Structure 1
Amino acid sequence: MDNKDLVLQAAGELFGDRDPAAVDRWVSPDYRQHSSLAADGPEALRGLVASLPVDFRYEGARVIADGDLVALHGTYHGFGPVPLVAFDLFRVADGKLAEHWDALTPVVAATVSERSQTDGPTTPSDLDRTEHNRALVAEFARRVLVGADYSVLTDYISTDRYDQHNPEAGDGLAGFGAAAAKWAEQGKELRYKTVHRVVAEGDLVLLQSEGEFGEPVAYWDLFRVADGRIVEHWDVITPVPASLPHGNGLF
């Protein structure tokens, strides 16, 4: 069983079957938690799983596997008053879930682009281009997101097609520009400070970053690359909590 299948099996038993005993089968005794929703260690995860309501379910959209890291993108239902779009990132070690990060945001029914926050291509393709695409997105993050050099934006993002899933932005560079101008008027300029992880499989590349968006936030950006340019974008932007139920930090 590869790491992608392992994470899918473990997540299915933990959050699909809501089986607390799955912790014993799939979770490392040294499980390290970064989520704001649970304390550290396997027993805290067991308590979380045991507390899930009967109508809880997870609707998966896509999975990205990169070495010992596996990222899930999907929607949680029954985890609160409204469905939550989520990125979950797991580190696998010795056949067990060893570490976990996540970011969640409410589902928005009416988006500017009329795309949902999770629709679009679901399976990584162009697997032989993984490292090229990783390098492209990492350089884009360094120069444009962190470096704020928007003069080189079209070196990385396609001018022909840029499908947008951020609920407040329209398609294309014009749609992104209009949204960025609106956010700036609201005092929410996009400021990326540090990119913590780049997770890539084929044409899909996920960035986990921290910065500011009117307040300290975690940025999770998923990009799809085609023909050497970014052509699609999904994201979750979530505030950095003032405190966490563990000492591991959000990142």
Structure 2
Amino acid sequence: MNAQETVTALLAELTGSHDPARIAGLVGADYVEHLDERTAQTSAPGDFPSGTRYEVVRVIVDDDMVLTHALLSSPGQPNSVGVDLWKVADDRIVERWSSRTPEVATTASGRSQLDGATVPDDTADSGTSRKIVSDWTKAVLLGGDFSAVPRFLSEKSYAQHNPEVADGIDGFTAATARLRSAGLSFDYHSIDITIAEGDFVFTRGVGNLGQKVVFNDIWRIDGGKIVEHWDVVSPVQAD
């Protein structure tokens, strides 16, 4: 199996029969998971209770890393939007980074948290896409140079899926200004993981949004600019 097939097989077990032997055959002996910033070594993913539905909307594959962006539902629980980054070695899942955020009905842009482009354009160069996002995060998200925003976000079409942010450069700048006027910081402290496939790039890092959070961002590139953005921002729970 390739990396994506391994992830698909494990998700089928976690949301289906929950067969311990089959799950054990798909998870490495030293499996480690990172739920937001809580890290634990365990025998298998532990946050898929019986009856969980995990509807994958988009997938990004970069060598041995597989990102799934999905809608989750469990009996008696509100729906959530999740990202899971799976690391695969020798046909087994050996590590996972996971975050969840509530699904919301109304957003600033009128878009949902999950709609939009779903399949990476593999005619696009992954390295170029990765470089654009890397430069964006260094200049703006980490560097705080908001005058550089028009260099990276498309002035023609920037589709936003964060529930609190409207489309376009104006939507992005208005949202950051609104946070600051409310006395809340918008700080990325680090970008710890970046993967890319075609025109899609995923980044994961930590920062502050009024409290310590994990930032999970998916960026889509077209014409040398960022044209679409999805995210899952989850608070870091105190131990």
Q: Equivalent residue of 1:141, what SS?
A: helix
* Residue of structure 1 in register with 2:221 after alignment: 225
**Match of 2:35, SS?**
coil
Is 1:68–2:60 an aligned residue pair? no
User: Is structure 2 residue 135 aligned with structure 1 residue 139?
Assistant: yes
Q: How far has the Cα of 1:180 moved from its partner?
A: 1.5
Aligned-residue offset at 1:218? 0.5
Give 2:159's aligned residue: 163
Deviation at residue 120 of structure 1 after TM alignment: 0.7
For the 8 Å contact 1:127–1:201, the answer to whether it is kept is no
Q: Within 2, Cα distance between the matches of 1:147 and 1:207?
A: 16
Q: In structure 2, what residue type is equivalent to 1:240?
A: V
1:202-217 map, 5 Å: 202-217=198-213
User: Is 1:124–1:203's contact at 8 Å kept on the other side of the alignment?
Assistant: yes
**Percent identity between the two aligned chains:** 39
Q: Hey, what's the Cα distance between the residues in 1 that align with 2:162 and 2:17?
A: 30
Residue identity in the other structure for 2:23: V
**Is contact 1:210–1:217 with CA below 8 Å preserved after alignment?**
yes
2:56 counterpart letter in structure 1: G
TM-score (normalised: structure 2)? 0.93
**1:9 is aligned to 2:9:** yes
Please tell me whether the aligned partners of residues 85 and 98 of structure 2 are also in contact (alpha carbons under 8 angstroms): yes
Q: Could you tell me which residue of structure 1 aligns to residue 113 of structure 2?
A: 117
2:50 equivalent to 1:53: yes
Q: SS at 2:20's partner residue?
A: coil
Match of 2:41 in 1: 40
Matched residue SS, 1:133 = helix
CA distance in 2, matches of 1:127, 1:4: 19
CA distance in 2 between partners of 1:119 and 1:20 (Å): 34
Q: d(CA) in 2 for partners of 1:218 and 1:79?
A: 26
Residue 28 (1) aligns with residue 31 (2):
no
Kept after mapping to 2: 8 A contact 1:14/1:20: no
Q: Deviations over 1:29-59 (max 9, x none)?
A: 10011116885211x53x655xx133x2111
Decide whether the 8 Å contact of 2:142 with 2:187 is kept in 1: yes
Write the distance in 2 (CA, Å) between the matches of 1:170 and 1:93.
Answer: 40
Give unpaired runs (5+ residues) of structure 1.
Answer: 244-251
The range that moved more, 201-210 or 171-180, is 171-180
Q: Which whole-Å deviations, capped at 9, do the CAs of 1:186-238 have from their partners, x for residues lacking one?
A: 33221011100111001110110111111111101100000110000000111
Structure 1's consecutive aligned runs of 4 or more residues displaced over 4 angstroms after TM superposition are 36-39
Counterpart of 1:173? Answer: 169
Report how far residue 128 of structure 1 moved. 4.2
Q: Is the 2:162–2:229 Cα contact (8 Å) retained in structure 1?
A: yes
CA distance in 2, matches of 1:218, 1:66: 21
Deviation at 1:16, TM superposition (A): 4.1
Letter in 2 for 1:169: V
Aligned to 1:248: none
Residue 150 (str. 1) matches residue 143 (str. 2)? no
Partner Cα distance (1:79, 1:174) in 2? 39
Q: Which has the higher strand share?
A: 2
Indicate the SS of the match to 1:21: helix
Most deviating of 13-22 and 93-102:
13-22
Change (3 A) 1:48 1:209: closer
* Aligned residue number for residue 19 of structure 1: 19
CA distance in 2, matches of 1:209, 1:137: 13
- SS of alignment partner, residue 81 of structure 1: coil
